[in-house]
Structure 1
Amino acid sequence: MNEPLAERVRPKTLEDYVSQHHLVGEQGSLTYQIKKGIIPSLILWGPPGTGKTTLANIIANESGRPFYTLSAISSGVKDVREIIEKAKQSGGLFTSKNPILFIDEIHRFSKSQQDSLLGAVEKGWVTLVGATTENPSFEVIPALLSRCQVYILNPFGKKDLEDLLERAMKQDALLKTKKINLKETEALLRLSGGDGRKLLNIFELIVSAEKSDKITITDELVLGKVQKNTVLYDKTGEQHYDIISAFIKSIRGSDPNAAVYWLARMIEGGEDVKFIARRMLISASEDIGLANPTALVVANNTFQAVTTIGYPEARIILSQCAIYLATSAKSNASYIAIKRAQQAVRETGDLAVPLPLRNAPTKLMKDLGYGDDYKYAHDFQNNFIATEFLPDDLSGNSFYSPGNNQRENALKDFLKNRWKDKYEL
């Protein structure tokens, strides 16, 4: 039997469908629509192995509609147009029973390929059901996305995965010939990563490797057969952005344990060492800034070091830097200051540089008053003279407001001492 276990036990009805109760449970947002056959064009978005293709097939079966399927990996505009023409001929003009066109991995379609679907979806020749592991906001063109409802599928939980195993043992003809005792399932569930297809593939691998028909599944047996869990991490996809986001937010939130964990996820997934170091370099300025200026030095040295060394040793340097940044005092005052200043530039345009601040390399410029009345700070006590350097229209504005930390509190005192009440700090 060459057909994989996951395919052999693929559910055919909603009653057999495991998980995603928020969509197809008793009160699920899709349950009523499927039962009544009122199916909108939709995008199913979720990680691999969460039942997107299965749900699309069930929707077609339950609604009694013609069902066409394409894979974005191997299909082009010509294939799309051929399917749409068939759909029109098979009843696409009758919207209550218009055919369903299922496109797997729709995020792999180019803009032109997605454009070719617009007319058919708009006119009701087909009901589009797209499946994607990537965020539709980024990967599906706005015109097509606006014509579809987006439904999110979640990774399988522990009970869902256990139910999937029990169901497979009861329904699969091959597994029913064996006496299988699920004594321990922790390793199986952990290795699956919430991916139902992966769980069934591993389970089938374990069972087929045993010579006896009496099999006791233990964590030791599973780990002995499966050498290494492949980390769920796509360097160009949703996981890439989600995990780096979690990493930076952990640093910002002063949680070194979480920072090291997300760092490990990226390292195990083969993330580019320079990408990780570059993001820490940004965080050192954006999230720490003047609360601890040394953080920027550490992050920059880290970037240079890991660029020279590379994996595997670079992981130690990355870990040291991540922990240092996470445990450092935090301030986003520099980040806020430049945002405020840029906003002022956008609102006020190119304000003239005050004459005292202008450069005067020629006689004409000097005759025009360039540089006149400029007061050289070092000629005054404490190297300071209370002269503002902003354009006249922005006089009195304060873009930098020191954060509440030991170093910036000292800066606040310094500025108050210099500028008195001129700036509101």
Structure 2
Amino acid sequence: MAGVARRGSTAGIDSTQGLLQPSGEDLRPLAERMRPAALDEMVGQRRLLAPGSALRRAVENGRVHSMILWGPPGCGKTTLALLLAQYADAEFQAISAVLCGLPQVREVLAQAAARFGQGRRTVLFVDEVHRFNKVQQDAFLPHIERGTILFVGATTENPSFELNSALLSRCRVHVMEAVSAADIAVALHRALADRERGLGALDLRIDEALVEMIAHAADGDVRRGLTFLEIAADLAGPGGEVTQATLEQVLADRTRRFDKGGEQFYDQISALHKSVRSSNPDAALYWLARMLDGGADPSYLARRLTRMAVEDIGLADPRALEMAVDAWETYDRLGSPEGDLALAQVAIYLASTAKSNAAYVAFNEARADVAQYGTQEVPLHIRNAPTRLMKSLGYGRDYRYDHDVDGGIALDQTGFPDAMGERIYYRPVTRGMEIKLKDKLDALRQARAKARGEAPPE
């Protein structure tokens, strides 16, 4: 549940076997052994930790504050928390919101309070802090205010959505970025050269191009890159060479960073939707491929593509909805990977065809009027009158059957409640098939206004 930061490791070479014999400390994964012991060893995060930056000055001077570190996996959140404790000469304790409940949280806070009473501070690192509920998050508040702990919460999710305002008001949010492939390559070279903590004692041979291949495959995650390198080193063996064939085994079936229920998921579906709306089929295809590659449920994507067909294409091209539903059914029949092509095809079509949100806007305006005007009575002339009593009460009286009227439309007859008057919600755009609908409705609406003796609609 809790632990103290440790540094260093030992290893020796067995001269009789010629193999690296790790000590107990070296049984840790390579990524853990190579965890930076100083700020200058961290890769990436130049904006946040650049020399002279506010956070770096605070850390180096030991004047750290409670904070939330928001960033993707493997960007250095845990490492930065460890360094905060090291530079502040404070005890480091770490808990995970995945594994701990409120009793464990209270126990750790009690330990920190006792330590504080003895004149020693505690950096409390809470991993996956967004998984704590409001009550659990509130437990930290008095201890942060009193200075009992220097709170460092790590999250991959947007703190605005996942953390309560009371906790956010007491912490500063620092945004950490995915580490670039070039910076990950630096970490890989460091691990290959380090004979104490890394793989230097193995005397591996690996081409620069393959190091770069691992760095790109890590997809912004330093820990992931070091794990790939460690597996490749195990396959190559001491004194061996990491080859292209070796890496193909190591990197087989990997996927890009993706969280099916988190920030990245919603960012990517937003990118897909907005690419369709912007009539950019190439970008739409890219984001669809990214989400499928990351493990998104294709049925969910089919549902969202269908939503795009009605929200952003609408009556400018009614075929879009039919194609989206057909693609959804095709995927249900074929599954992956064959059915993925049907989704790709409809994404291309939706992005390429004419766009209109007129129906979407019209429906929202109608719903707003329903909420504003409440339960309005149906006008008598358009009520159903199946019985003699209803007819005697005026139901259906003065209704004009449109098919019996010249032109097929009773222009002076309204379909709205009396308290509302005639309304216009649907305003077709001058794109796609809505051009013809616009011409027809504009003429019809002007004729209706004239028949009622009203000014023509704008």
Aligned pairs for 1:370-381 within 5 A: 370-381=395-406
The 3 A distance-change label for structure 1 pair 172 and 351 is farther
The answer to whether residue 193 in structure 2 is matched with residue 175 in structure 1 is no
Seen in structure 2, the aligned counterparts of structure 1 residues 37 and 382 have a Cα distance that, compared at 3 Å, is farther
**Aligned match of 1:209 in 235, 250, 256?**
235
Q: 1:210 to 1:309 in 2, by over 3 A?
A: closer
Matched, 1:392 2:434: no
> CA deviation digits over 1:392-422, x for unaligned, max 9?
3433432111112031111111012212274
- Which shows bigger deviation, 300-309 or 51-60? 300-309
Matched residues in 2 for 1:234 and 1:187: separation?
A: 23
- Name the CA distance, whole Å, in 1 between partners of 2:129 and 2:356: 42
1:149 matched to which residue of 2? 172
Gaps of 5+ in 2: 1-21, 450-455
Give the root-mean-square deviation of aligned CA atoms: 2.5
Residue identity matched to 1:298:
M
Contact kept in structure 1, 2:446 and 2:457, CA below 8 Å: no
Correspondence for 2:123 among 91, 95, 100: 100
Q: Count how many residue pairs are aligned between Structure 1 and Structure 2.
A: 422
1:348 to 2:373 alignment: yes
8 Å Cα contact 1:92/1:124 also seen in 2: no
TM-score using structure 1 length: 0.91
Runs of 5+ in structure 1 lacking a partner?
none
1:331 aligned partner: 356
Structure 1 residues 6-405: aligned runs within 5 Å: 6-91=31-116, 98-173=121-196, 174-177=198-201, 178=203, 180-184=205-209, 185-211=211-237, 213=239, 215=241, 221-386=246-411, 387-405=413-431
What's the CA shift string for 1:24-49, capped at 9, x where partnerless? 11243422332343433221111111
Q: Distance in 2 between matches of 1:123 and 1:389?
A: 66
- C-alpha displacement of 1:141: 3.1
Q: Residues 402 and 410 of structure 2 are in contact (CA less than 8 Å); yes or no, is this contact kept in structure 1?
A: yes
Code of the residue aligned with 1:249 in structure 2: it is: K
Q: What is the distance in 1 between the residues matched to 2:260 and 2:324?
A: 22
Q: Once the 2 structures are TM-superposed, how far is the Cα of residue 220 of structure 1 from its aligned partner?
A: 5.4
SS of corresponding position for 1:392: coil
Q: Percentage identity across aligned positions? A: 41
Q: Which residue of 1 aligns with 2:18?
A: none
TM-aligned CA deviation for residue 101 of structure 1? 1.2
Cα distance, 1:355 vs structure 2: 2.6
The structure with the larger Rg is 2
Q: Report the alpha carbon displacement of residue 203 of structure 1 after superposing the two structures with TM.
A: 1.4
Higher mean alpha-carbon deviation, 236-245 vs 47-56, is at: 236-245
CA-to-aligned-CA distance 1:132-163 (integer Å, 9 cap, x gap): 12222333234333332222111111321122
Q: Secondary structure at the match of 2:429?
A: coil
Q: Give 3-state SS (helix, strand or coil) of 1:30's partner.
A: helix
Report the TM-score when normalising by structure 2: 0.84
